[in-house]
Copies of this chain bind each other. A is one copy, B any other.
Amino acid sequence: MNKNSSNIMALAPSTSNKRETVCIFGTGDFGRALGHKMIQSGYPVVFGSRSTQTSSLIPKGAEVLSHAEAAQKAAIIIIAIQRQHYNFLTPLAEILHGKVLVDVSNNLKINQYPESNAEYLAQLVPGAKVVKAFNTVSAWALQSGTLDASRQVFVCGDDTEAKQMVMDIVRALGLTPVDQGSLLAAQEIENYPLQLFPMWKFPILLSLGLTTFFFFYCLIRSVIYPYVYENEDFSFFLAISIPNRICPILALILLALVYLPGVLAAIIQLYRGTKYRRFPDWLDKWMLCRKQLGLVALAFASLHVLYTLVIPIRSFVRWRISSRIISQALNNKTEPLNTTNAWLSDSYLALGILGFFLFVLLGITSLPSVSNNVNWREFRFVQSKLGYLTLILCTAHTLVYGGNRFLSPSSYRWYLPNAYMLSLIVPCIVLVVKFVLIFPCLDKPLTRIRQGWERNPQYSE
């Protein structure tokens, strides 16, 4: 439903008085925000607090009572206080018996306590039905109504009926409840809002490292070398020329790194003759962040496309072309068309275009809503077949770009080869090994191993 739906609802007259009373323990920022939103949605709200003085901050229409009195008025009690203070609930155990306790708390660090706050709460008040919910929503978002981020509220709990009651409230507030199962899931739900792109850390750090390396490499070859030997100032290469050398190199290397672990896994399985032994840890982790590696590679490829397409607008390029034309005109000579050059230039560009096009297709299919509409067979077809085709096209693009420069001595400045040559190492290895693995003498045993066959069953644990 539309983003503004919750607002419309909030403005609608809440004529119905069928909603059940909800009790909120704690009058802090989050408790008040939640209470405010609930009153808007037609719920009678009663706050439980140490001091029963109605503060000016308490949302209008809410009652403030002592904890015990408030708890008695409602079947659902939202515990909007911090974990450290949970033990004040122990004396209330009798009153809380059979009630639904909603744990909305968050921690400051991932896995801060051995057990989740919700499980701790369930241990403190064994007679109550504890449900974890609302911890992914911020007080600010509740109050302002600008719920642009995820509207998902993860809910878990051992009592199905209690969970259902909480999920009904979530829905009434204009949010989307997502049932995560039993209270065991609480730890995960509590860690969730503390994460900052955990799967992206390795790909981003890796690409930062590679970027730094290739930046200085290109700086030495393209700016410092001509400055030292020819006394020419090409410092403006820093803005476009050098980034446009780094981006395609990183795109190609990262794309190859997406397919390298699959190839390594195949070799390991062939060597071991079984699929039932775990891969080394680093390989497991590497395989899990392949999607992110691929998307970072796509980002570099997109930048490379943009940097390349602005080439003819660059002042330096215009100057170089026009001075070449003028010198030809002044020398009164016309170069004939070099068909080989035309072929090289055109096929290099065409390979790049097709490679980038397939790369973008891969990126689109990795959008959650697209990959959710695709079955396993289709996903494998796209990510494996189309993925390898992309890698082949991009490697060929780089090879043709090199063209006849590979062996030219002018490409080696201070014995350093052109940077793009370095970028070809990993993709070529991946493609060669993959090509070898396709041969029936290796493909057949591999397929059998992946279907569960074992070479030496006695050795498996």
Contact = CB atoms under 8 A, between A and B. Distances in A.
Given A138-B376, A243-B350, A309-B309, A56 B461 contact: yes
Interface string A368-384: 11111111111111010
A322 interface: yes
B141 A342 contact: no
Which bucket holds chain A's interface residue count? 35 or more
Interface string A17-33: 01100000000110000
A312 interface: yes
A3 interface: yes
Interface in A277-302: 284, 287-288, 290-291, 299, 302
A14 interface: yes
Contacts of A18: 158, 182
Contacts of A145: 288
Given A4-B199, A321-B318, A344-B315, A379 B149 contact: yes
B452 A287 contact: no
A365 to B, nearest CB: 10
Nearest to A325: B322
Contact of A307 (B324, B329, B335, B353): B353
Interface of A: 1-5, 7-9, 12, 14-16, 18-19, 28-29, 42, 56-57, 115, 136-138, 140-141, 144-146, 148-152, 154, 158, 168, 171-172, 178-185, 187-188, 191-199, 233, 235-237, 239-241, 243, 276, 284, 287-288, 290-291, 299, 302-303, 305-316, 318-330, 332, 334-335, 337-339, 341-347, 349-350, 353-354, 356-357, 360-361, 366-381, 383, 450-452, 457, 460-461
